[in-house]
Amino acid sequence: MSAKPFIYMGYRPILFKKINNRNRRFGCILEALLLAAALVGCGSVPLPSESTSAAEIFDPVPGRLNTEQANDVTLYALGLVGTPYRYGGNTPETGFDCSGLIGHVYQSRAGIKPPRTTAELSFWGRSIPQEILQTGDLVLFGKSTIANHAGIYVGGGRFVHAPSTGGTVRLERLDARHWQAQQPRFRRP
């Protein structure tokens, strides 16, 4: 038994027969769809394993601060530790409440004016997981969607904030029992 002769036309062998334009168009469309399906398969991302951390899953989240500004914000916030708390305060001379501290630090060191209240800060910037926190990111606390307290992340699992009446601006650990109970969340301005 002998093999039938064929003519090679692109990616498919065509037996000797009359080829009309409709068949040719269908063949081209089919080839394009197969090529697209192959390329989509090549570009897919593998599913994360159980040992994959959030930092590996999430793309880096861009923010408004460059590295130099983030460092300036962090150092300046640390330099304000010990400043008295004052409800509605937003200067080192008069004292700070938590959102006033954030507003003063960001505006004076990065030229960025954040919202004035913690409720507004709850939606400012982009939400990020704790695993990708960087200096200068915001730390917000509260048991609802709207935060009732906020601070500035300064690295090493610590943040600077203006806590409450009678207190002063402080440096504290995020993993402290009190702050973990406040359901911390994080935003990148």
Task: Give the residue, 16 or 115, on which the prediction is more confident.
Answer: 115
Question: What does the pLDDT look like over 41-70, one tens digit per residue?
Answer: 444 444 455 555 554 454 467 888 999 999
Listed ranges 25-29, 40-44, 50-54, 180-184; the one with the highest mean pLDDT: 180-184
Question: What does the pLDDT look like over 73-103, one tens digit per residue?
Answer: 999 999 999 999 999 999 999 999 999 999 9
Question: What does the pLDDT look like over 132-157, one tens digit per residue?
Answer: 999 999 999 998 889 999 999 999 99
* Pairs from 94-97 (Cβ < 8 Å, separation ≥ 24): 95/162, 96/162, 96/169, 97/162
- Of 113, 106, 100, whose CA–CA distance to 76 is shortest? 106
Q: Has residue 51 been placed in a domain?
A: no
Which of 42, 98, 104, 178 is catalytic? The answer is: 98
Confidence of residue 15 (pLDDT cuts 50, 70, 90): very low
φ, ψ of residue 174 to 5 degrees: the values are -65, -30
Q: Has residue 115 been placed in a domain?
A: yes
Number of domains forming the structure of the chain: 2
Give the pLDDT of residue 25: 57
22 and 88 together in one domain: no
Give the pLDDT of residue 64: 86
CATH number of the CATH domain containing 87:
3.90.1720.10
98 and 143 together in one domain: yes
| Percent share of the chain, pLDDT over 90 | 62
User: Per-residue pLDDT averaged across 110-134, rounded?
Assistant: 95
143 and 83 together in one domain: yes
Q: Please indicate whether residue 28 is annotated as part of the active site.
A: no
Domain range for 37 is 6-43
Task: Give the residue, 18 or 148, on which the prediction is more confident.
Answer: 148
d(CA 9, CA 64): 55
Q: Has residue 134 been placed in a domain?
A: yes
Which of 42, 104, 149, 178 is catalytic? The answer is: 149
Which of 28, 42, 104, 161 is catalytic? The answer is: 161
Give the pLDDT of residue 45: 46
